[in-house]
Amino acid sequence: MLIKRIYLKNFRNLKSVLLDFNSDLNIIVGDNGQGKTNLLEAIYYISTGRSHRTSTDKELINFSEDDNSDNKKLIIQTKILKEDKLNQKLSLQIQGRDKLFKVDDKEVEKISDFIGKLNVVLFSPEDLDLVKGGPANRRDFLDTEVSQVNPYYYHQLKKYEKVLKQRNNLLKEIRYNSNKDKSVLEVFTDQLVSIGSKIIKKRQEVVEKLKILARLHQRKLTDNQENLKVIYDPSFEFENIKNIEEEFNEIITKKIDKEIERGYTLIGPHRDDLILEINGYDIRKFGSQGQQRTAALALKLAELEFMKSESGEYPVLLLDDVFSELDGIRRQELINFIGQRIQTFITTTDKLLVEDIASDEDKYFYIKSGKFY
């Protein structure tokens, strides 16, 4: 899978950009704050339907002083090529509160029909949070990965979020008014258990595959020194995944009084986590910065392989300023991995850091103040 061309209008400081890309390496060079990450963010957005840096779309629309009208239209358009040799045009427009997704010039009704057309894996310095940060980072990692190759999973996630919100609101209402009819709570609980069980099943299945791939990459990245263990850590213990729905229902029913007391849902996939261990100890808490960074990279490379095995094609790899953070062995291993088979975008402030990967001047894109030259 590869991106042949991108057109951007009013995307942050990229006011008007049209670029044709190489099928293997694309190196974006520029000083700090020139718009390199903005380009990767636009690619990430057209792939996943959201930004990795903000949940407020308004922030993405160009705010330049010379033209600060409220009605600006942000456009991202890409031409992508899949292995079946078919070109596809993906486009997105944001204007005010309106958001429009199109595939081959036809508007799509549901965002789940859009996600998965172009798959990407992004690795940036913030991904250290994948290891070091709270559980939400790890859930988000799993969800983004699975959603791209499985639109049904994305759809279930959105349904789950909605039911969870409704159920939490109702639990709070019951807390303040104990006479409130509890039959609606039963309906929400049934829905939560039914959708939540599907999500748990899928996550467990995915982690089974992911842990083998992540272990392999961690070993390669550390010259066989470190064994990474990835363990799915659901919010409640169950005996048999085949009966997950019954077990989930049984446990949540026992917790209802406590949930009313607290005013929110105590168990379910919204509280899942991943345990990450190296040579037997928990690196979320005890890993060195270098180990955590390597584990984050191993997880990302595992994600890439997983997506290839599910969809049949390698996703596009976006590496945001990561070379400066990696030592020689890790950098070389990453370069070996990318090889010639994965379209890769690398941002850097220092061309020297990537010169051993690209000798060909064609692969460089230079940016200054949002303009490529």
Ligand X SMILES: Nc1ncnc2c1ncn2[C@@H]1O[C@H](COP(=O)(O)OP(=O)(O)OP(=O)(O)O)[C@@H](O)[C@H]1O
Binding region for ligand X (CB under 6 A): 12-13, 30, 32-38, 59, 61-64, 321, 347, 349
Between 137 and 348, CB nearer to ligand X? 348
In the complex, least distance from residue 307 CB atom to ligand X, rounded to whole angstroms: 25
Q: Is 33 annotated as a binding residue?
A: yes
For the chain, what percentages of helix, strand and coil (3-state, to nearest 5) are there? Answer: 50, 25, 30
* Angstrom distances, CA of residue 322 to CA of 20, 54, 138, 330, 348: 23, 20, 19, 11, 8
Of the pair 146, 319, the CB lying nearest ligand X is at: 319
* Beta partners for residue 367, in sequence order: 372
Tell me: is residue 218 an annotated ligand-binding position.
Answer: no
Closest approach of Cβ 98 to ligand X, in Å?
A: 17
Least distance in Å: CB of 25 to ligand X?
18
DSSP, collapsed to helix, strand or coil, labels residue 129 as helix
**Cα–Cα distance measured from residue 217 to residue 67, given in angstroms and rounded to the nearest whole number:** 48
Radius of gyration of the chain (CA): 22
Residue whose CB is less far from ligand X, 40 or 299: 40
36 labeled binding residue: yes
32 labeled binding residue: yes
35 is in an annotated binding site: yes
Kindly report the number of other CB atoms within 10 A of residue 271's CB atom.
Answer: 15
Which CB, 107 or 350, lies closer to ligand X? 350
> Is residue 96 part of an annotated ligand binding site?
no
Kindly state the smallest distance separating residue 252's Cβ from ligand X, in Å. Answer: 43
Q: Is 196 annotated as a binding residue?
A: no
* Shortest CB 177 distance to ligand X, Å: 44
Strands of the sheet with 228-233, listed across from one edge: 228-233, 273-278, 281-282
Q: Nearer to ligand X by C-beta: 227 or 324? A: 324
Is 339 part of any known ligand binding site?
no
**Between the CA of residue 242 and those of 189, 238, 245, 246, 249, what are the distances in Å?**
19, 10, 8, 9, 13
Residue 359: how many CA atoms within 13 Å on its side-chain side?
A: 1
Closest distance of CB 146 from ligand X, Å: 28
Element (H, E) at 48: helix 36-48
Instruction: Report the residue number, 13 or 166, with the smaller CB distance to ligand X.
Output: 13
**Residue 119 near residue 311 (C-beta atoms within 8 A):** yes
User: From start to end of 47-113, where are the E strands?
Assistant: 73-81, 87-95, 98-103, 106-107
Which residues are annotated as part of the binding site for ATP? 30-37
Which residues are annotated as part of the binding site? 30-37
